[in-house]
Chain A
Amino acid sequence: MIFIIILIIIKNEIKMSEEKVIVANKGLVRADFAFWVGQYLDKFYDGLENKKIMGNKCPKCGDVFVPPRKICGKCNVVIPLDENWVDLPETGTLMNFTITPYRINDRTSRKAKDWTIGMIQIDGSNTSVVYRLLNMEPEDIKIGMKVKIEWNEKTKGDPSDIKGFLKV
């Protein structure tokens, strides 16, 4: 079973007065978390490891989800684990994008060089995934343009297997 480990550090400062800031245990309470992804995502991540995109399809409305889900929120129906799987291509359409200097991760948030993040609808699916847009100048980026997955050379079966999306 795959799980994703995320490290959380809770900063715990107590302000006493203007001059004095007490930092408990040198500022850090550490707690490790390992999230069970469930059987739907487990199958999906197995696919990613083999550089394959899999979605699943709502038996009622026919919407295709990437990543796959147990429940279609629109119809409130369970999508059975063994059925309705769809193999999807590596290509998609850019639905939205933003450019930001902020880097936000579990340890800190800081500013660096601008990078571009896009919302991409994988062809054949009805929702978007959010990934980096690679090798694109801001003036090249147009909503509605075709993009394709750039895989990481070594895949691990987690979200980082997709490095980002390239212009087709």
Chain B
Amino acid sequence: MQKVGIVGYYQVKLYSDANYGRYEMIFEASRGALDKAGLKKKDISTVISCTNDYYDGRTISNCFTVEVGGGYMADESKVEMDGAHAVLYGLMRVLSGNHNLAAIWGGSMASCYPYHTVRLYETDPTWERSLAYVNDVTSAGFQMRAYMEKYGVTAEEIAKVAVKNKKNAAKNPLALKEAQLPNITVKDVLDSGIYADPVTELMVAPPCDCVAALLLAPEKQALKITDKPVWITGVGYNQDPYYLGDRDLSGCKSMNLAGKMAYNAAGINDPSSEIDVAELFEANAHEELIFAEELGFAKKGKGIEINSAINGDLPINPSGGALGGNPPCATGLIRIIEAVKQLTGEAGDYQVKGAKRAVASGQVGMCAQNNIIYVLEAN
């Protein structure tokens, strides 16, 4: 795979109830990315947006974002998954040779719609949906229990992931204020109330409002635009079967296969030593461990043994991850942006020293049914 450069990015701060109109937020993000790269709107040759008609409460919700997202008279399209999938489509368009600058933006305002109800529309309407026993809440509980039962991992150990991420989020000025908890303890997490036993409320990525944007350019153009491009050297994506009963929820086969595809493209043989930092979209604390294992950072069931603190051996989610705020359609895109910040040394208080190669992931569906993973490298 030929490498593609990330030449600009912008993320609006995460809010649980943003005092923004949707279009203002989109404009701030897409304009912000252009300004950071020192480019003009006319330089954009293709725009890929990521929104969801259900999240936005209107049909063809993308058709009103053409102007604010920089898509006027540009070759544009919309991906309806995670922001990280929109980056994939932008990447494909750049790799095809048809486009020289792809602008990608994604996001939604979870404060404007009933999040769990809307997630329920992902379920099979001919079988499971009318009773609503399968939803994003219960599936989180099933997934964590399956993982704990299979490998004998305790709730305390999983709570430690939440503690780490919430503390990291406190160092990230763009993280959700409610998720910035510098003094949180394992006990606080375990006592935060049942979400879907054994998952507690503080182990869950809180839905919030945000739009983020990213610019991609082919190698030659990227070097003209910036002297600090970050290269996408590998990408993998994969989808698991739908029904929870068809899957082994203690692991995540789609993440494993996506990881293999991305490592293969980037030429990575030993991920745990070759990767310096990971930004993973964990919808719940335990998913970070499952993903880390599937990506080869640790043996199955031993994810908790990784020293994943900011100054650890393999820092995971130094930005706070999705536990620091989960704006639907933007979360995976933000993970990529956070990984880029680590590689360009722009991460501030949560900078991982000497990070040269990172992975960033995005997901969509119950129990992370579809996963996408990027390998990013510093110039």
Contact = CB atoms under 8 A, between A and B. Distances in A.
> Do A and B touch directly, given a CB cutoff of 8 Å in the complex?
yes
A114 B116 CA distance: 17
A8 B131 contact: no
Interface in A122-166: 127-132, 138, 143, 158-160
B207 to A, nearest CB: 12
A8 B256 CA distance: 36
B114 A109 contact: yes
Nearest to B135: A104
Contacts of A114: 194, 197
B212 interface: no
A86 interface: no
Interface stretch (B26-34, B41-49, B119-127, B266-274): B119-127
A100 B241 contact: no
B21 A8 contact: no
Interface string A12-25: 11111110000000
Given A12-B57, A130-B133, A131-B133, A102 B127 contact: no
Given A41-B126, A128-B244, A129-B245, A13 B194 contact: no
A119 interface: yes
B130 A38 contact: no
B346 interface: no
Given A10-B54, A159-B127, A15 B138 contact: no
Contacts of B133: 117, 130-132
A10 B55 CA distance: 9
B117 interface: yes
B117 A98 contact: no
Interface string B1-35: 00000000000000000111100000000000000
Contact of A130 (B54, B138, B145, B199): B138
Contacts, number: 137
Contact of B130 (A98, A128, A159): A159
Interface string B351-375: 0000000000000000000000000
Interface in A67-85: 67, 73
A115 B149 CA distance: 21
B243 interface: yes
Contacts of A129: 245
A15 B109 CA distance: 10
Given A99-B141, A109-B117, 15 more contacts: A4-B125, A11-B57, A15-B19, A15-B112, A16-B21, A18-B19, A95-B245, A98-B145, A98-B198, A104-B135, A105-B117, A106-B120, A108-B117, A119-B244, A129-B245
Contact of A98 (B18, B19, B197): B197
